[in-house]
Amino acid sequence: MDFEIRIKPSGRSLRAEEGTTLMDALADAGIMIKSPCGGRGICGKCTVKATGRLSPRTGREEGLPDGTRLSCTARISGNAEITVDEVRKAPVFPEVHAGKPGPFAAAIDIGTTSVKISITDLSSGEARPYDFFLNPQRRYGDDVISRIAASAGTDARGALSKLIRRDISASLSGAGIAFKKAVVSGNTAMSYFLLGLDPGPLGRHPYTAPVLDFPSLRASALGMEIPGDPETGVLPSVSAFLGGDLAGGLAVTDAAGYAKNVFYIDMGTNGEMFLRPSSGGIYAASCAMGPALEGMNISCGMTADEGAINHVSIRQGSFAISVIGGGKAAGICGTGLIDATACLIAAGIISRSGSMAKSIAPGSPAGLFISEKGVHLAGDVFISQKDIRNLQLAKGASLAAAEILLEEAGCDPGSISHVFIAGEFGENVDVGNLKRLSFLPDFRNAVYFFLGNTSLRAAEMACLDAGFIGRIGSLRHGIRAVELSSRPGFDEKFLASLDFRAD
């Protein structure tokens, strides 16, 4: 059964099914609400004014003023009226580009969890970040496999494509300029969803990607409404689980001259990595890390947004937290989770095998308490035993996959001189804590570099250089893709990789 929803102040009205969250109903009307915790009722950042027939208040909504609801939590149960006073802020057209004649290009990184867009001035070559939003396909599952499974239903497959096209179009329409070119980078499944290709073969044995190179098309031919109707390219994929994002990272580091003794990992919901040993060759693999590092399957997890605990340390016997924006902690993001876990291990509250103590031992750092939910870092923001297990699954997968690549290449980790960590969270992570939690093998002689979002960077480079996509294609042919799921011994190695390091 569906009901009428009136939106104020615009006066527009729409129909929404009973049980739809206000956030989804508004999204269907093209109104995007900021949702740093992924719509799980944790961060409190998605409030709207709403009246009419709505579900009863639950959880965090109980402390909100009358008529104010969390749009991710409140559901339609009859006709309702919503005043949208906290929409996701319209992205700001970068100041450096404002007033310039262009032409302009958009680089779009479609991650499993989030989407990032930058705008490049093609005359100066300058690229600036433009927008960031959570991937709207999350309502069909947190990971690639769940979305591929969901897409088996014909309606869902079309909906998955429509959602991502809609939000990219809405974002770029807000820039107030016309685009001459757009380049998209993403893992293979994300590229397939955008292009409307059947992702089924990516998710079933023998896990093949029937199409690896994608033609450049007008945005309108891809079902997007982007001002200027730009020619839109998609970075080529390597295999079912190694996408244009990995190929882009390879091309970015290769262009900078790093071709040997290099290990690269893009830490996201999928961990994609390659190894270039001194003996030559490129070995690559992908592993499922889950969205823990992006704050998405963590009890109080959120993206690195205002209110997120992003760093934790022990200072003078007390736990010290840093919160983005400096206000009250609303949740915790990936870097905060890594720091907090390392500190809790150092304090003896979490064991090397990941078990959490039931009480705080005398002499433990001040500023913590343990409830039946877990260890509280600040007020209601806590880390549960399950959160630690999810972090272990992420780090176990990346460590096991990296060790297999080393074995496959016959490469000693001591021979690696450069470790590149890509991914949005990488720039702010404490490398000491990353090593302490043993996310990677012991690259004892390597220098670690955090590259930020190389997937987006590759798309930007492709906006500027017409030959860049071709060079990605050539490099890609040298990749030996190591399929982990069918490899004997992977499960044993994964289980052996779950413990935190003992030093």
Residues that bind ligand FES (CB under 6 A): 35-37, 39, 41-46, 70, 72
How many CB atoms sit inside 10 A of residue 14's CB?
A: 17
Cα separation, 224 vs 67, in Å, equals 36
Q: Are 341 and 314 in contact (CB under 8 A)?
A: no
Closest distance of CB 22 from ligand FES, Å: 10
Using the minimum distance from each CB to ligand FES, give the nearer residue, 70 or 238: 70
Tracing tokens 């569906």 back to the chain, one arrives at 2
Residue 385 is given by DSSP the state: H
Based on C-alpha coordinates, what's the Rg of the chain?
A: 23
Distance of alpha carbon 275 from alpha carbon 265, whole angstroms: 9
Minimum distance, C-beta of residue 374 to ligand FES, in the bound complex (Å): 19
Residue 337 in contact with residue 369, Cβ under 8 Å? no
Least separation, in Å, of the C-beta of 55 and ligand FES? Answer: 14
Least distance (Å) between residue 456 CB and ligand FES? 24
Smallest separation (angstroms) from ligand FES to the CB of 337: 17
Question: Least separation, in Å, of the C-beta of 33 and ligand FES?
Answer: 7
Q: Least distance (Å) from ligand FES to the CB of residue 47?
A: 8
List CB contacts of 347: < 8 A, sequence separation 6 or more.
314, 364, 365, 368
Least Å from the CB of residue 331 to ligand FES: 8
CB of 6 to ligand FES, least distance (A): 22
| CA neighbor of 253 nearest in space, from 118, 412, 420, 488 | 420
Nearer to ligand FES, 24 or 272 (CB): 24
- Identify the three-state secondary structure at position 120: strand
Give 37-70 as a DSSP string: TSSSSSS---EEEEEEEEPPP-GGGGGSPTTEEE
For residues 397 and 265, give the distance between their C-alpha atoms in angstroms, rounded to a whole number. Answer: 12
Transcribe 130-193 into DSSP letters. EEEEE-GGGGG-SSHHHHHHHTTSHHHHHHHHHHHHHHHHHHHHTT-S-EEEEEEEE-HHHHHH
Q: Which is nearer to ligand FES, 88 or 311 (CB)?
A: 88
**Closest approach of Cβ 28 to ligand FES, in Å?**
17
**Cα–Cα dist 228/177, whole Å:** 8
Distance CA 209, CA 219 (A): 23
Reference 37, options 382, 321, 389, 307; nearest CA is: 307
* Contact (Cβ atoms closer than 8 angstroms) between residue 244 and residue 235: yes
Question: Residue 461 — φ and ψ, nearest 5°?
Answer: -65, -35
| C-beta of 58 vs 124, nearer to ligand FES | 58
* Separation between Cα atoms, residue 375 and residue 321, nearest integer Å: 14
Closest approach, Cβ 43 to ligand FES, in A, equals 4
Token pair in block for residue 456 = 């987006």
Q: How many CA atoms lie within 13 A of 448 on its CB side?
A: 21
